């Protein structure tokens, strides 16, 4: 999975933010900021703050637990500032086998605490959701325009990927935590841990936080991470503004005045859907009929 996500990152050229036609979205564009939210405010009903009841290492067999530890040898148990601690990598295979059998309950309870603490450190941030263009053409997505842009009544900002990341990092100082791609899966957290064990790969605990059910795969989501709510970017990172053709005329006039004031009118496009094949096409705003 990690290899697939890394490969997709290499393919990203543009990222997109779909907006509805609400006034606060116009304001964000005017002031060049993105709004970051707590994870339990997103629209996926299953995306909530992860707690101790959401996964359980006690469901692993002794053999699975040993395999997990072999793939995560850097884990330290006990207090690393005292002599009462041990690193899994210091054990031989035979020693580890005996240790797992003798200390099974201590180990699984400790892992539940360790993994949850890693997740908590990440989920205490705020997040912003973008769509990336690896393997898909987001602007042709009927579902994205419907669900996140009020049925072609809103607009989309298309950003150049590397420049917008650099801009956000610069303007956010040390508060920007980077980004991650969402993994789409049908596995619950404990089954996900078991699948990682079967793969022989180390567990990236925060990946559990950034996994969603496969139903959401159409979003092709890239998630930005920051400790702030209002995160600014430079308008030069915008490659295009795409307006949904069903935007109300008065709102379209307001938006065009805003784009002109920001010098973005030459980067403005509009959708043009085709009822014959249900496709969504994009053309320069000045070419509209």
Q: Indicate the pTM of the whole model.
A: 0.90
Q: Which of the residue ranges 71-80, 101-110, 233-242, 277-286 would you say has the lowest mean pLDDT?
A: 71-80
pLDDT score recorded for residue 78: 72
**String of DSSP letters for 150-186:** TTTTSEEEEEEHHHHHHHHHHHHGGGEEEEEEPEEES
Contact 192, 57 (CB under 8 A): no
Closest CA to 271 of 44, 16, 76, 8: 16
Distance CA 207, CA 274 (A): 39
What is the mean predicted confidence (pLDDT) over 119-142? 94
- Residue 41: count of CB within 10 angstroms of its CB: 10
Contact 124, 175 (CB under 8 A): no
In a 3-state reduction of DSSP, which class is residue 12? Answer: coil
Give 72's contacts (C-beta < 8 A, 6+ positions apart): 88, 202, 203
Write the pLDDT tens digit of every residue in 53-67: 999 999 999 999 999
Angle at CA of residue 288, ends 286 and 289, nearest 5°: 130
Domain assignment present for residue 76? The answer is: no
Distance CA 54, CA 105 (A): 18
Give 196's contacts (C-beta < 8 A, 6+ positions apart): 68, 71, 202, 203
pLDDT averaged over every residue in the chain: 92
Domain assignment present for residue 165? The answer is: yes
Distance CA 137, CA 182 (A): 17
**Is residue 124 scored above 60 in pLDDT?**
yes
Closest CA to 39 of 111, 121, 113: 121
Contact 185, 213 (CB under 8 A): yes
**Is residue 289 scored above 60 in pLDDT?**
no
Contact 242, 288 (CB under 8 A): no
For residue 181, the enclosing domain spans: 2-49+124-287
Q: Which of the residue ranges 28-32, 35-39, 83-87, 98-102 would you say has the lowest mean pLDDT?
A: 83-87
What is the mean predicted confidence (pLDDT) over 135-158? 96
pLDDT score recorded for residue 87: 84
Domain assignment present for residue 267? The answer is: yes
Closest CA to 135 of 252, 25, 27, 222: 222
Domain assignment present for residue 30? The answer is: yes
Domain assignment present for residue 190? The answer is: yes
Domain assignment present for residue 39? The answer is: yes
Contact 280, 139 (CB under 8 A): yes
pLDDT confidence band for 81 (50 / 70 / 90): low
* Total tally of structural domains belonging to the chain: 1
Q: Which of the residue ranges 5-14, 102-111, 191-200, 225-234 would you say has the lowest mean pLDDT?
A: 5-14
Domain assignment present for residue 213? The answer is: yes
- What does DSSP assign to residue 48? -
């Amino acid at each position: 999975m990690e290899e697939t996500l890394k490969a997709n990152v290499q393919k990203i050229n543009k990222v997109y933010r779909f907006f509805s036609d609400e006034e606060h979205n116009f304001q964000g564009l005017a002031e060049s900021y993105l709004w970051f939210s707590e994870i339990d405010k997103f629209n996926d009903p299953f995306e909530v703050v992860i707690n101790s009841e959401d996964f359980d290492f006690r469901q692993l067999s002794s053999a699975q637990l040993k395999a997990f530890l072999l793939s995560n040898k850097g884990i330290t148990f006990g207090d690393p500032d005292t002599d009462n601690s041990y690193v899994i990598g210091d054990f031989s295979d035979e020693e580890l086998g005996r240790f797992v059998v003798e200390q099974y309950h201590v180990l699984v309870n400790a892992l539940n605490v360790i993994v949850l603490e890693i997740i908590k450190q990440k989920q205490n941030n705020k997040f912003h959701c973008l769509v990336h263009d690896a393997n898909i053409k987001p602007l042709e997505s009927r579902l994205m325009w419907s669900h996140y842009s009020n049925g072609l009544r809103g607009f989309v900002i298309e950003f150049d990927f590397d420049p917008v990341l650099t801009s956000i990092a610069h303007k956010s100082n040390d508060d920007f935590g980077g980004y991650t791609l969402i993994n789409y899966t049908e596995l619950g957290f404990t089954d996900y841990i078991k699948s990682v064990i079967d793969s022989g790969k180390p567990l990236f605990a925060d990946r559990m936080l950034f996994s969603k059910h496969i139903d959401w795969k159409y979003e092709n989501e890239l998630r930005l991470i920051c400790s702030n709510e209002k995160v600014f970017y430079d308008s030069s990172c915008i490659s295009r503004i795409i307006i949904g053709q069903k935007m109300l005329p008065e709102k379209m006039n307001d938006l065009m005045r805003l784009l002109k004031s920001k010098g973005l009118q030459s980067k403005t496009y509009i959708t043009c859907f085709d009822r014959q094949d249900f496709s969504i096409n994009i053309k320069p705003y000045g070419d509209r009929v």
